[in-house]
Amino acid sequence: MTAAPLSLASRLPNVGTTIFTVMSALAAEKGAVNLGQGFPDFECDPALVDAVGAAMREGLNQYPPMTGVPALREAIAAKINTLYGHAYDPAAEITITAGATQALLTAILCSVHPGDEVVVIEPVYDSYVPAIELAGGKPVFVQMEVGAQGYSVPWDKVQAAVSPKTRLIMINSPHNPTGSILRPADMQALAAIVRGTDILIVSDEVYEHMVYDGVRHESVSRYPELAARAFVVSSFGKTYHVTGWKIGYVAAPAPLMAEFRKVHQFNVFTVNTPVQHGIARYMADPAPYLDLPAFYQRKRDLFRDGLRSTRLRLLPGDGTYFQCVDYSAVSSLPEAEFATWLTTEIGVAAIPVSAFYNQPRESGIVRFCFAKKDETLRTALERLAKI
C-alpha cells in the first residue's frame, strides 16, 4: 500500500516567495544590473574584517552571553547616548540580535498575544505582517499618502486605527521602501496618539545613519515619552556594509527587554561571537557611521542626477539607500509587470512598491537601490537612459 502524502496546515498560508528573490533571480537570468535587492556590491572596510579575524585567532569562538558581548552592548549604549541623548543600561536594556529581522520578530512575539491588534503603516517592509500573524495578532493597515513632497504618514488615520485592542504601533524611519523620514512633528503626533495608553512601539531604525541634506535622524530614543514604551531596532549589516553577517541590536526599557530576552533565548539564544567582538573594537572609532550620510548622499546624488535625463519622475529621497520613481510617463503597466519589463528589456532590476502592501496597490512607482559601486550605478543609468 502507498502511504498518503503528509500535509501540514500552514502557519503562513498567504506567504510565497518574496519579490526580492523573484527579481534577483530574474536579474541574474537576464544579466541585468540588480538595483532591486537592498545590499551593497562593494566591500566593507578591511579593518572590520581584520578585527573579526583577530577575535577568531584569539580564541573568541565559543558561546557569548545570551544578551550579547558586554563590550558591544556598552559601545552601543555609548553611541545612542552621544547621538540621541538617551542613556540605556547596557546590562539590562540592550540585546544583540541575529540581524534586524530576528529583532523585529522577537519584539512582536514577546508583546503581541492572540487577538491583539498591531498598527502597520503601508508600504511596509515584508517581514512585519508575517511576524504579527505568527504571534496570533491582527495587522491593522494605514496607508501613507503620496504627494508633491513624497510619502508622509497620515497621523489622523493612525489615530482612527487605534482601538482598545491595539498593542503595538510599528514605525520605520528612514523608511523602506519609500526613502522618506519622520520629522519632529511626526514624533510629536505619535506621542499624542499613545499618551495615556498602554500601546507599545516597535521602531525600525536600521537606516539611522542614512539621512541626508544635513537633516538629523529622529530616533525614538530622542523622545523620553516614546522611548519609555519602545523597542528600537538597528542593524550593523546596513551601517557597515555587511548585510550577510546578520547582526543587529535592540534597545528597550528594562521591563520590555526582560520579556524580549525570554523569547530571544529560545529562538536564536545568542549571536556570532567573533563578529560581536570585532564590531565592538571597530566601534571605538565613530567615523565610519558618522561619515555614512555623506558617503551615501554622494551616491544618491549621482544616481538622481542621472535619472533626471530619463522620463522617470524622482520622488524625494531623504533617507535609506533607496530611490523611488514614478514611471507613469513611460508605461501604464502594473508595477510588477513594469519591473519585469525593465529587468528583461532594459537590463535594470527594480522592486515594485505594490509588493509592500497587504492588498496590491498600484501607484506606478518602483524602487531602486543605490548602495552600489559608482560604475554599477553608471551602467544602470546608461541603460535607463533608453527610456
**Cα(20)–Cα(27) distance, rounded to whole angstroms?**
10
Instruction: Indicate whether 255 and 300 sit together in one domain.
Output: no
Nearest CA to 108 among 270, 267, 271, 272?
A: 267
Residue range(s) defining the domain that contains residue 217: 47-286
Instruction: Indicate whether 184 and 231 sit together in one domain.
Output: yes
Query: What pLDDT was estimated at residue 3?
Result: 74
Query: What pLDDT was estimated at residue 1?
Result: 61
Q: Is the pLDDT of residue 2 over 80?
A: no
CB 348 within 8 A of CB 367: no
- CATH code of 305's domain: 3.90.1150.10
CA angle, 79 as apex, 201 and 60 as ends, to 5°? 100
CB 74 within 8 A of CB 82: no
Instruction: Indicate whether 255 and 107 sit together in one domain.
Output: yes
Instruction: Indicate whether 303 and 229 sit together in one domain.
Output: no
Query: What pLDDT was estimated at residue 87?
Result: 98
Q: Is the pLDDT of residue 4 over 90?
A: no
Residue 350: inside a domain? yes
**Cα(150)–Cα(168) distance, rounded to whole angstroms?**
26
For the chain, report the end-to-end CA distance as a whole number of angstroms. 61
Buried b vs exposed e over 254-278: b needs ≥16 C-beta within 10 Å?
eebbebbbebbeeebebbbbbbbbb
Instruction: Indicate whether 216 and 169 sit together in one domain.
Output: yes
CB 196 within 8 A of CB 226: no
The last residue of one of the domains, among 286, 319, 347, is 286
- CATH code of 112's domain: 3.40.640.10
Number of domains in the chain: 2
Q: What are phi and psi of 97, to 5 degrees?
A: -125, 165
The 3-state DSSP class for residue 152 equals strand
The helix or strand, by DSSP H or E, that contains position 169, with its residue range, turns out to be strand 166-172
Query: What pLDDT was estimated at residue 7?
Result: 84
Instruction: Indicate whether 149 and 52 sit together in one domain.
Output: yes
The DSSP bridge partners found for residue 168 are: 118, 200
Q: What are phi and psi of 252, to 5 degrees?
A: -160, 155
**Residues sharing a CB contact under 8 Å with residue 104, sequence separation 6 or more, in sequence order:** 127, 128, 131, 202, 204, 233
Q: For the whole prediction, is pTM greater than 0.85?
A: yes
Query: What pLDDT was estimated at residue 198?
Result: 97
Confidence band for 37, pLDDT divided at 50, 70 and 90: confident
Nearest CA to 253 among 272, 230, 225?
A: 230
Q: Are strands 365-369 and 322-326 parallel, antiparallel or unpaired?
A: antiparallel
pLDDT for 46-65, tens place per residue?
Answer: 999 999 999 999 999 999 99
Average pLDDT (317-335) is 97
The last residue of one of the domains, among 263, 286, 309, is 286
The last residue of one of the domains, among 286, 317, 350, is 286
Query: What pLDDT was estimated at residue 99?
Result: 97
Mean pLDDT, the chain, as a whole number? 96
Instruction: Indicate whether 182 and 87 sit together in one domain.
Output: yes
Instruction: Indicate whether 228 and 97 sit together in one domain.
Output: yes
Average pLDDT (345-356) is 96
Instruction: Indicate whether 343 and 358 sit together in one domain.
Output: yes
Residue 5: inside a domain? no
Least confident of 12-21, 153-162, 378-387: 12-21
C-alpha cell, 4 = 498518503
Query: What pLDDT was estimated at residue 152?
Result: 97
CA angle, 229 as apex, 227 and 232 as ends, to 5°? 55
